A and B are shown apart, each in its own frame.
Chain A
């Protein structure tokens, strides 16, 4: 049992933090939001740091690293509320490496690792909410190719990405496909999201698709679990910075002739925020350290983690705004943007109630970190 980071992991953290501090200022963030919520240039800079190949093997031009490295990077990106959907790159790298045919891997993994291609998961459907086994999109074989029909929602940077990983029903089973955005029969409609980022509706109409795996649900669950662990780590970074911003404000702002950090009601709230942050950090570690566990154990761990993270995110975000007072609800001041990022992360890949249901359904007689 060991929760220290290795020297290499610390160096990775420093490199990402340096880029966020110097290259991704709040002004740049704001400009990116104004420009639509996704900056290919910023994504390119993340790729230049070599991060896009984190979960891709060296044979395909990646780094072959593991969940702890993924967690470290996501924490730092969260600290800077970076808009570009890097978690999607972790998902795409992990899923294609784990489930795609060798030909598909050879075609896509090097491009993902270099940052040339952005591949995102397009699983959300209107009737599914957070259920992964609910899928109305269908696919059928036509000769050696596949043809896919259906509509996916809230696809991260969906009108900018180069390809989608798409679950679709083949008979009564879910299979997983890769569809290029520029394939015939693909239409997208982009829009902004809570955090200032970008998403899109993606309509597939007899769209040309490549089969990743017929065991689609297994792969999709794995994809979403990579997403959940990434989400948890990102949230820890966001909360860490939210805490720091709030503490600084409390120690600066004066009312009634004194700094407001001298008021016990506010001090206790700050202590409660710290509690939620550290419980969240603990469960983010737990999620990442369980990401390579066998599927049932992994799924159970992600559900537990997302319940804690969801509770923590909501509390820390709401209280950060409250403790700032009026300035907290303005668009101009930075803290509202951290709050909105946290709000969106709770709703990503299953909210607190959804995952509470998952934990509830899986309960055994005993429970603990190792059970």
Chain B
């Protein structure tokens, strides 16, 4: 047992830190550190910088052009990026669909799709949820009917995050109604510029259109875009969902936001208020405990010796803490979190802030992060999974 990273790992961290410092554009990290709105360009600019270095697919194995890092190196990379104020990598391409293409796609598909994902050129979206399929994904209804060498797709996806920017979308589609719901699902890659695809933004409670509805009206999709075998899509979807389970806790971001919470609490004069300060202290303990939990999972992955039954806890706890820091930030500003002025959350806005500039995005972030305990399998579904570990 040893808490410390090895000298090699510490050296690795130092190198990553230096590279991020030299390559992360200051205007982008300024926005992240202050929770200001990020544009499509901001996100893609950073993705392309990473892509050029070969790190956008930082979890990819070497054979597909990734750095081949182990679990601890991946964690250190993610931590250095998060603490420096890098935007989260939009995961749909490099983190979600790419591993599926690597594992189940054919050579032609790998050559066709992976380079655009690795470089950050092509923006991917996720087509999983439907109006009738939230946590119960196996109930998808969007139909894909085989006609010769193509599929005809009809139906609707929803909650498509940043789908307004999407160029390609990976979808779970129903290709059969035989047998159990899970057995008739296929995994299809669809060009969002295809005739019949339309995207409609959904304005969320924070006033932003972060997610979308995507409609498919007799969309023709070449059969060559089917991943693996027809009706085996559920297996591939599960593979996708099992990826990157440690980063789902997003503990590095919580560490950064805990720092911001302290800055805000000081500026608002509540840091010296024992009642408020103790709430921050409690969150600090919870963040450290979550980080220890994450490190245990990483170490077990690295050594391969222990089999841990705790990975399912990471999503629950990580999402709860994200909501908690956002809540405390808002409470720190108190009445000055009440104004909700969209323009004031844009970098460089020249208008008069109510209270202070740091107050402007607090309510918006609080509202936005209510999603975290709902998406990726709601926390109630996660508890079902954890309870299976405990009770069988």
Kindly identify, within residues 43 to 92 of chain A, every residue whose CB is under 8 Å from any CB belonging to chain B: 68
Contacts A4-B299, A359-B285 given: A279-B290 contact, CB under 8 Å?
Answer: yes
CB of B387 within 8 A of CB of A267, answer yes
B347 to chain A, nearest CB (A): 23
**Is B180 interfacial (CB 8 A cutoff)?**
no
Residues of B within 8 A of A68 (CB): 1
CB of A1 within 8 A of CB of B72, answer yes
CB of A251 within 8 A of CB of B3, answer no
CB of A275 within 8 A of CB of B391, answer no
Please give 16 more A-B residue pairs, beta carbons under 8 A apart, in addition to A243-B390, A278-B310.
A1-B72, A4-B1, A267-B383, A267-B384, A267-B387, A272-B383, A278-B313, A279-B290, A288-B1, A356-B285, A359-B282, A360-B281, A363-B281, A367-B258, A367-B259, A369-B292
CB of A356 within 8 A of CB of B282, answer yes
Residues of A within 8 A of B262 (CB): 363, 365
The 3 closest A-B pairs by CB, nearest first: A282-B292, A267-B387, A360-B281
Nearest to A66 among chain B residues (CB) is B1
A285 to chain B, nearest CB (A): 7
Contacts A268-B387, A307-B282 given: A367-B287 contact, CB under 8 Å?
Answer: yes
A70 to chain B, nearest CB (A): 12
| Cα–Cα distance between A264 and B316 once the two chains are bound (Å) | 17
| Cα–Cα distance between A264 and B317 once the two chains are bound (Å) | 19
Residues of B within 8 A of A233 (CB): none
Q: Is the interface of A mostly helix, strand, loop or mixed?
A: helix
CB-CB contacts of B370-391 with A at 8 A, as 1s and 0s?
0000000000101110110111
**Is B39 interfacial (CB 8 A cutoff)?**
no
Q: Chain B CB within 10 Å — which of A247, A268, A278, A285 has the most?
A: A278
Nearest to A362 among chain B residues (CB) is B281
Q: Give the bracket for the number of chain B residues in contact with chain A.
A: 35 or more
Stretch at the interface among B103-111, B129-137, B218-226, B272-280: B272-280
Residues of A within 8 A of B317 (CB): 275, 279
A251 to chain B, nearest CB (A): 6
Chain A interface (Cβ < 8 Å from any Cβ of B) = 1-6, 9, 68, 243, 247, 250-251, 261, 264, 267-268, 270-275, 278-279, 282-283, 285-286, 288-290, 304, 307-308, 356-357, 359-360, 363, 365-369
- Pick from A243, A360, A368, A369: contact of B274, CB below 8 A: A360
B277 to chain A, nearest CB (A): 5
CB of B391 within 8 A of CB of A270, answer yes
- Pick from A2, A6, A285, A307: contact of B292, CB below 8 A: A285
- Pick from B289, B298, B306: contact of A283, CB below 8 A: B289
| Cα–Cα distance between A141 and B204 once the two chains are bound (Å) | 74
| Cα–Cα distance between A4 and B287 once the two chains are bound (Å) | 22
Residues of B within 8 A of A6 (CB): 1
Q: Chain A CB within 10 Å — which of B300, B310, B316 has the most?
A: B310
CB of A251 within 8 A of CB of B391, answer yes
B258 to chain A, nearest CB (A): 6
CB of A267 within 8 A of CB of B4, answer no
